[in-house]
Amino acid sequence: MADHILHTRISRKDRKLVDKVMMFACVVAPLFVLPQLFQIFSNHDATNVSITTWVSFALFAFIYLLYGIVHRLKPLIITNILWLIVELAAVAGILIYG
pLDDT of 86 strictly over 60: yes
CA terminus-to-terminus distance, the chain: 61
Which of helix, strand or coil describes residue 93? helix
Please say if the pLDDT value at position 43 is more than 90. yes
Query: Is 54 a domain residue?
Result: yes
Residue 6: DSSP 8-state: G
In which domain, by residue range, is 86 found?
A: 31-97
- To the nearest 10°, report the CA torsion of 62, 64, 70, 73: -120
| pLDDT exceeds 80 at position 94 | yes
Give me the chain's average pLDDT, please.
92
Mean pLDDT of 52-65: 97
Span 2-22, pLDDT tens digits: 556 666 788 888 889 998 999
Predicted TM-score of the model (pTM)? 0.81
CATH of the domain at 46: 1.20.1280.290
Are the C-beta atoms of 58 and 47 separated by less than 8 Å? Answer: no
